[in-house]
Structure 1
Amino acid sequence: MNRPSEPNDDQVEVEEELELQELARLKPATSKENSVVYAAKDEEEEEEEKSKYGWSTFQPECLQFMSNRKAFLFVFSMTCILQGTFHTYFVAVITTLEKLFSIPSKTTGMLMSATEIGQVCSSLLLPYYVSTRHRPHWISYGSILLSIATLLTVTPHLLYPPKIPKSISVGDNLCVADEFGNHFDAGNSTEQCFDERDPPPYFLFGILFVCLLCVGLGQTAVYTLGIPYLDDNVASRDSPLYFSITIGVRILGPVFGFILGSFCTRLFIYPGEEPEGMTPLNPRWLGAWWLGMLFISSLLFITSVLIYGFPQTLNKKRHKENIAELAAMDDATGPKLSNFPMTLKRLFVNRILMLRTCSSVLHLLPISGLYTFLPKYLESQFRLAAFEANIYTGIAGILVMGIGIFSSGVYIRTREPDAKTVALWVACSAIIYAAGMAALMFAGCDQQDIIVDDFRSPSCETEHCTNCADIYSPVCADNKTFLSICHAGCHTYNNQTKEYECDCTSTPPTPGLCPSTCNLFHLYSFIFIVIVLVHSSSEVGSMLLTLRCVRPADKAMALGLVQCAIGLLGNVPCPIIYGSIVDSTCKMWVTSRSGCHQSTGHCWLYDSNKFRVYFHGTTSFFMFLASLFDISIYFKAQDIQINASS
């Protein structure tokens, strides 16, 4: 005889409801009992309303399919991707901004630090204030702030539109002689006073700095509130899966940023109005840097509206348990603020954590600086166009990094190495990275074909051109690059033959740099990809060492301490340090005037040898210092348990 199946939860609830209705029919309820029933119903209806998707009272039934974890994961992941896209897109258009507004690399480095300053300033106060409030709403507020700040970065383009010549005929830069002597007659001499509407550097810097500061504030709201909201609304066993998806898709943001930057910088700043004869390969090319900002801002606004509609909780049972647990902790331990000094002291005396903190700062500082100015280096060293440099940085850098992180995670999950093995690999990866960067100091081009000694070929003797201005409008002739047609000794243009009479060249000059004859780019790419892959494979192990060297209750505090140190000591000074290093290798500056007040702008021409050595040498030095801390961790890692079985 078959045993009757046990009723499920829905059947039990239905039976209990019927019994209550029957009792209510048989026994008249008192006013007190009625008030309790009505209060319970009101509370249940209120909880039901809190779990619906919508905007305020607008909660259509057709949109309730959005009120689930997967929908939030998708929208939240898209927001994270767009944030990463903005950061690397701004890096991709830095060269264009420097040329357009005459900004030195040190200044752009300070601009990049503004985002980190915003994150550091809000990373502790914001989560504390919003932890008990409607988190999707505050995530949406942060995303809207990020969208508005991204849109406002276009303001300099609207206030100070660039003056674009109708053509780039090299004849514009011919040198002529008159009774006052030979002079450069291009209308572009640095001795003239520019229009008063030329953008004041400090005003432009202020606009962009405030925008990037707001970007940092908005990013903090999304990251620090989105992850806990996701964790509170999924089962504990599903949290690792959701987190791995979130982290995995975030790596796509930087890749998309460089791809978008490549597309926009390939377009002229006014699409369809590029001067006759100018191409993206010309060093004076100005890309449509503002176009990507509009695109990113629009998508961020859409995702912010979608996030706002999510309810305060997606898991009512888990939400009630979390509230009860927090209340019990407050009763048992008192206010959290009273435990803060004790917890902080416990972390500071943890030697392994302090070593991990120093190592994390020294790992991130050179990598962040490298990727910030890598497109500029590739343009200068290998004469790549801006869009080509951005594509390379996105694929050979960020995408390879993602492959390394994913592969190492799979290896650690399946092989379960002990802590000493993980610590040893972290140290080895840092040493390999430092050695690879040292090797890249010798993999570059010396650019001997560019005539920069006294801005004229030593063999050139001419009566026509003896005082060319220091303007950068390069031309190629006789397989040599001259700074301008004036520096090539060209003084007459023949309208019949369409050729120039030049004292320093035997062939007619053509606009732009001469094609590079250096064949070391492929070697550079191979070494770079290998060391990035090796170093990124240590990221998961580094995170595990940080989490396992402290008490379980101190994990969040330990990560917060490491992130704060990275922000203050790594991300903030890093662009400034590398910007100063890049500027120190400049050979030819652009000087601009605003109301006849001269100021130094961006750099037209870098010393390729110094750029290569300083750029990679600094990165190698910082990573070598990081390896020393990693080696120290290796000798102390025997007490760390990476896996439960170890």
Structure 2
Amino acid sequence: MSDDQKDGAEKSPFLQKNIGHLKCEKVKDSPLQDNEDSDNTECGFWIFKGQILQRAATEKMYALLYGFAGLVIAMAYSYSNGTITTLEKRYKIPTKTTGIISVGNDISLCLASPFLGYYMGRGHRPHWMAFGLFTLVVFCLLTASPHFLYGAGDEALKLTKDFGLTNYTDVFLNSTQDDRSLCNDNEPDCVAEVSVWMPIILLFVAQLISGIGCSLFYTLGLTYMDDNTAKSKSPALLSWTSFIRMLGPAIGYSLASFCLRLYIAPDLEPVIKNTDARWLGAWWLGWLILAGFMLISTILIYMFPKELPAARANRLQLEQVNAKAGHHSSVEELTLKNMVKCVKRLAVNKVYVYNTLASVLYFFGYMPYWIFTPKYIETQYKQSASTATMVTGSGALAFSAAGILLSGFVISKYKPSARTMAAWNGISDYLTVAGLLCYVFIGCDGSDNMASLSAASSNCTAACHCDFVQYSPICGQDNVTYISPCHAGCTGQYKDENDRMVFSGCGCIADSNSSKEPQTQIGIDGACPVDCSKQFIAFVAVMCFLKFVGSFGRAGNLLLALRCVSTEDKTFSLGFGNTLLSLVSFIPSPIFFGWLLDSFCLVWGKTCSNKGNCWLYDTKSLRYTLNLTSAGLIFVGAFWNIGVWYYAKDLQIFDEESRKEIQEEIDEFELKETKNDMNT
């Protein structure tokens, strides 16, 4: 605060504190001259200008288009999450490596957010936001590029009629007895992968680029809305933009579900169904669609002016009021020294600090459910990739929408205090913990029992050399799914009268039933049917509850973050907060939980260069460890909301309550000035 501001605050502390929120209608003509160019309030660019576009320079239109752009971004990230398992299978990527790829955007966001928020916050924010969106166009195209560089892959092509097969059983019928899919004494060659690291590098670089775009869009976009909107309208507009953006995951997961139903090479005819675990969907197709939508968003956001006309008029009126009151504001110079001062101001802001700490632990604990939910559904409840992505996105849409809209209505109508909002944040965290504990007990016995076959089959088939055998499950007579005929110890194969592939002499199946001879034990091509429908429905019900609870407090938490800091620190506080969250939550959490998932893997798809992707997990141990770890982190983080509740007692969210008092103070000041002029 400058010396002039301090002097003004001593004369009128209440006025100085709240003058920035006042929209004064009394003053009709402003004697002040605006030195800014009129282009700062004009919509459009180049030849795309005019009165028609200028009519769109409103806070409601901005909220609509900002929400649409956020929707497309949310679509991109949810689509990425929905296609994770397909990428792991296609490029044989362990989950830990997938976690490292996914944090690429957080690394760049962490490095860029403070500087972009501080230096770009006073520039033409819509133009910088549009630049950020354009980098996301590059992100989409770069993510799809591995498919065009390396194709569908030999394993996917082998499962198509166009590759020379009429059905999948021909894979075995055309093979010799020493084929590595059956138990034999010869150790097979490892599975060679060409340029296995290059797709990983491309995907990681794409994520790095996206972090810069997201940092510019969210950091500048929220403050632009708050600075160009009446404070009384902020809750409603924030809720509506959150609601529009919330549709993004639903559409993104639905798009992923649609694309994954198509084969990775759509022009070829596969011989397996999309319910088969070996199915590879057209994961790359959605990225081309998303790039098109992202480009449209870029153009629309770029057309907005530096400042909305209505907001500019109100700002000039407030400057006149400040001038009459003797308050002369000064703009702090953008230097590294002043940025350090800004950091110090945030460090002593207890509401900001405690709210950030609570968010750090919450996001660390809840991160795996944003990234790995489709994978969790596939492994725990044996659902197809398309079903898992569809349910993740659209299954809880109605509950998320209800939470967003209801929170906006409640806040706008009843105008709860900052303490009430902080209290609800704490309650919602504990409700989230309760939901995660429910996940622990929602397991499927059919899925859990598959974990026991790995130890038995590994001992039984030690001489079969099954390490590099491709995943090709068979169902034994004991109603247990084996990873492949090799893992079941099978030595023969034939087609029965129903045209099914039957594997004979399966010694490992005989181990589970000692009354039968190994030669009489057989297995049928394909996994044994597992019914996890009831458990799956229960999981979806709890997920819908958590979606509602989490979305209901979204608008209130964002208002607390915007109101607990001064106007000049607002943009930087969001960028600095994103950096802290990235360093402590968004970057380490996916890597940690990716490692956690890998630690419960029982069967790896090994290649010559690495151990590849995981085909089978110890689902019971994974379910207990994952959910209890996440619940514990969120439980501890919820305690920091108590500090937010305590120190938010004097925090003002709305300006209507003080409007009358501020206006009376201004009127009193003007009356004194008039008397002084008359006496003079």
Whether these two folds match at TM > 0.5 is yes
Q: How far is the alpha carbon of 1:217 from its aligned partner?
A: 1.0
Which aligned pairs between 1:561-576 and structure 2 lie closer than 5 A? 561-576=576-591
Change (3 A) 1:386 1:60: same
Query: For each residue in 1:135-189, what CA deviation from the matched residue of structure 2 results, as whole angstroms up to 9, or x when unmatched?
Result: 43333222222112211111111111112113562463589997xx8964699x9
Distance in 2, Cα, partners of 1:64 & 1:637: 40
Query: For each residue in 1:476-532, what CA deviation from the matched residue of structure 2 results, as whole angstroms up to 9, or x when unmatched?
Result: 344321212344426131477745352347676142452335632222222332244
Confirm whether residue 534 of structure 1 aligns to residue 549 of structure 2: yes
Structure 2: gaps spanning 5 or more residues: 1-27, 510-520, 659-680
Confirm whether residue 283 of structure 1 aligns to residue 283 of structure 2: no
Change (3 A) 1:532 1:66: closer
Match of 2:69 in 1: 79
Q: Is the 8 A contact 1:440 1:616 kept in 2?
A: yes
Distance in 2, Cα, partners of 1:600 & 1:322: 65
Change (3 A) 1:555 1:110: same
Distance in 2, Cα, partners of 1:126 & 1:604: 42
Deviates more, 1:160-169 or 1:53-62: 53-62
The AA in structure 2 aligned to 1:481 is T
Confirm whether residue 318 of structure 1 aligns to residue 317 of structure 2: no
Q: Which of residues 577, 589, 612 is equivalent to 2:592? A: 577
Q: Which of residues 530, 537, 540 is equivalent to 1:525? A: 540
Q: Is the 8 A contact 2:118 2:339 kept in 1?
A: no
RMSD after superposition: 4.0
Query: For each residue in 1:99-145, what CA deviation from the matched residue of structure 2 results, as whole angstroms up to 9, or x when unmatched?
Result: 00011111111111111122222223224444454443333222222
Match of 2:492 in 1: 491
Q: Which of residues 583, 601, 606 is equivalent to 1:586? A: 601
Q: Which of residues 640, 644, 654 is equivalent to 1:629? A: 640
Q: How far is the alpha carbon of 1:312 from its aligned partner?
A: 4.4
Distance in 2, Cα, partners of 1:380 & 1:533: 25
SS of aligned partner of 1:273:
coil
Query: For each residue in 1:344-384, what CA deviation from the matched residue of structure 2 results, as whole angstroms up to 9, or x when unmatched?
Result: 33432344432222111111222222221111010001001
Match of 1:109 in 2: 99
Distance in 2, Cα, partners of 1:125 & 1:344: 12
Q: Is the 8 A contact 2:239 2:407 kept in 1?
A: no
Match of 1:502 in 2: 504
Change (3 A) 1:342 1:194: closer
Q: Is the 8 A contact 1:451 1:481 kept in 2?
A: no
Confirm whether residue 98 of structure 1 aligns to residue 88 of structure 2: yes
Q: Is the 8 A contact 1:465 1:491 kept in 2?
A: no
Match of 1:37 in 2: none
Distance in 2, Cα, partners of 1:182 & 1:271: 29
Match of 1:18 in 2: none
SS of aligned partner of 2:492:
strand
Match of 1:122 in 2: 112
Q: How far is the alpha carbon of 1:315 from its aligned partner?
A: 1.4
Q: How far is the alpha carbon of 1:429 from its aligned partner?
A: 2.5
Confirm whether residue 400 of structure 1 aligns to residue 404 of structure 2: no
SS of aligned partner of 1:493:
strand
SS of aligned partner of 1:588:
strand
SS of aligned partner of 1:612:
helix
The AA in structure 2 aligned to 1:608 is T
Q: Is the 8 A contact 2:251 2:394 kept in 1?
A: no
Q: How far is the alpha carbon of 1:261 from its aligned partner?
A: 1.0
Distance in 2, Cα, partners of 1:238 & 1:70: 10
Distance in 1, Cα, partners of 2:650 & 2:228: 34
Which aligned pairs between 1:88-487 and structure 2 lie closer than 5 A? 88-161=78-151, 162-163=153-154, 164-165=157-158, 166=160, 167=165, 169-170=168-169, 172-173=171-172, 184=181, 191-194=188-191, 198-201=194-197, 203-231=198-226, 238-276=233-271, 278-315=272-309, 318=312, 321=315, 332=330, 335=333, 337=335, 339-397=338-396, 400-446=399-445, 447=447, 450=450, 453=453, 466-469=464-467, 470-478=469-477, 479-487=479-487
Confirm whether residue 603 of structure 1 aligns to residue 600 of structure 2: no
Query: For each residue in 1:293-333, what CA deviation from the matched residue of structure 2 results, as whole angstroms up to 9, or x when unmatched?
Result: 00000121123233334444541881794799699999746
Change (3 A) 1:174 1:440: farther
The AA in structure 2 aligned to 1:225 is L
Change (3 A) 1:51 1:625: closer
Q: Is the 8 A contact 2:472 2:483 kept in 1?
A: yes
Q: How far is the alpha carbon of 1:574 from its aligned partner?
A: 1.5
The AA in structure 2 aligned to 1:253 is G
Change (3 A) 1:310 1:627: closer
Q: Which of residues 611, 618, 624 is equivalent to 2:629? A: 618
SS of aligned partner of 2:606:
strand
Q: How far is the alpha carbon of 1:603 from its aligned partner?
A: 0.6
The number of residues matched between the two structures is 593
SS of aligned partner of 2:471:
coil
Percent sequence identity over matched residues?
Answer: 31
Which aligned pairs between 1:12-91 and structure 2 lie closer than 5 A? 47=38, 53-57=43-47, 59=49, 71-91=61-81
Distance in 1, Cα, partners of 2:425 & 2:48: 52
Deviates more, 1:264-273 or 1:233-242: 233-242
The AA in structure 2 aligned to 1:373 is F
The AA in structure 2 aligned to 1:534 is V
Distance in 1, Cα, partners of 2:140 & 2:298: 14
Distance in 2, Cα, partners of 1:131 & 1:497: 70
Change (3 A) 1:315 1:497: closer
Q: How far is the alpha carbon of 1:461 from its aligned partner?
A: 9.4
Deviates more, 1:378-387 or 1:526-535: 526-535
Q: Is the 8 A contact 2:183 2:486 kept in 1?
A: no
Q: Is the 8 A contact 1:419 1:642 kept in 2?
A: yes
Distance in 2, Cα, partners of 1:432 & 1:77: 28
Q: How far is the alpha carbon of 1:92 from its aligned partner?
A: 0.5
Q: How far is the alpha carbon of 1:455 from its aligned partner?
A: 6.8
Change (3 A) 1:503 1:240: same
Change (3 A) 1:74 1:330: same
Distance in 2, Cα, partners of 1:561 & 1:623: 22
Query: For each residue in 1:371-424, what CA deviation from the matched residue of structure 2 results, as whole angstroms up to 9, or x when unmatched?
Result: 211110100010011111112111345653343243234334444555555444
Query: For each residue in 1:179-219, what CA deviation from the matched residue of structure 2 results, as whole angstroms up to 9, or x when unmatched?
Result: xx8964699x9942555x62322x22221111111111122
Q: Is the 8 A contact 1:592 1:599 kept in 2?
A: yes
Change (3 A) 1:558 1:605: same
The AA in structure 2 aligned to 1:335 is E
Q: Is the 8 A contact 1:427 1:627 kept in 2?
A: yes
Distance in 2, Cα, partners of 1:339 & 1:448: 57
Structure 1: gaps spanning 5 or more residues: 1-11, 14-39
Distance in 2, Cα, partners of 1:575 & 1:251: 22
Distance in 1, Cα, partners of 2:202 & 2:317: 43
Q: How far is the alpha carbon of 1:433 from its aligned partner?
A: 1.8
Change (3 A) 1:456 1:172: farther
Distance in 1, Cα, partners of 2:314 & 2:390: 48
Distance in 1, Cα, partners of 2:545 & 2:437: 14
SS of aligned partner of 2:641:
helix
SS of aligned partner of 1:620:
helix
Change (3 A) 1:204 1:408: same
